[in-house]
Amino acid sequence: MDFVKEFATFLHQNGIIKFGDYTLASGKKSSYYVDLRLVPSYPLEFRKMVKYLEKDIAQNIGLDEFDSIVSVPTGGLIIASALAMETVKPLIYVRSKPKDYGTSKSVEGKIHDGMKVLMIDDVATTGGSVVNAIKSLKESNISIKDAYVIVDRMEGAGDAFAELGVNIHSILNILEITESLYERNLIDQTVLEKVKKQINK
């Protein structure tokens, strides 16, 4: 079984992806919920995910094509931290709002003009938090061309990133996950159709 099918099954069996009626942080209604913050509680699967991510980045972008890894708290930052350790790359992160004490910085970590970074996040929906982070990075004269997410919900993040000149890459998207679960009889056709309908809205 390839990684994508194996990982989709792992997510479902451990309640990391759930199907039903949920309200997202944005207030939007959803027929499923993905909480990748649970994955580090399963160290073997977490390490497999990070190693697969590293391999995919090496093949599709090249590890020499960026100076640092960047993320946004909190879900993506845990994955980015593990990836930085594996690749021996510096890590920086962007706050959702500048701290109101000390240096009042938005971008934390060692940065310099013209440095190239790779964005890592856990789940992309509309891309709101990452879009704001990309803008902050560009304001600091930091170059960003690519962003990697573990799960793309296929609800507009790609278009939002493209407007800022950033390509989105994903390890899985919600359609791949649900079709894989359906093929293995882990969800029924009603659930699959609900997800497809949500993507196409």
Domain of residue 93, residue span: 3-199
d(CA 59, CA 53): 10
Radius of gyration for the alpha carbons in the chain, expressed in angstroms and rounded: 17
Domain count, the chain: 1
Q: Is residue 77 predicted with pLDDT exceeding 90?
A: yes
- Report the CATH number that the domain containing residue 17 is assigned in CATH: 3.40.50.2020
d(CA 128, CA 54): 24
Question: Using one digit for the tens of pLDDT, what is the confidence trace for 99-151?
Answer: 555 555 788 999 999 999 999 999 988 778 889 899 999 988 999 999 999 99
Chain-centroid distance of CA 115 in Å reads 21
Q: Is residue 168 predicted with pLDDT exceeding 90?
A: yes
Q: Is 190 helix (H, G, I), strand (E, B) or coil?
A: helix
Q: Which of 40-54, 63-77, 95-109, 123-137 has the lowest mean pLDDT?
A: 95-109
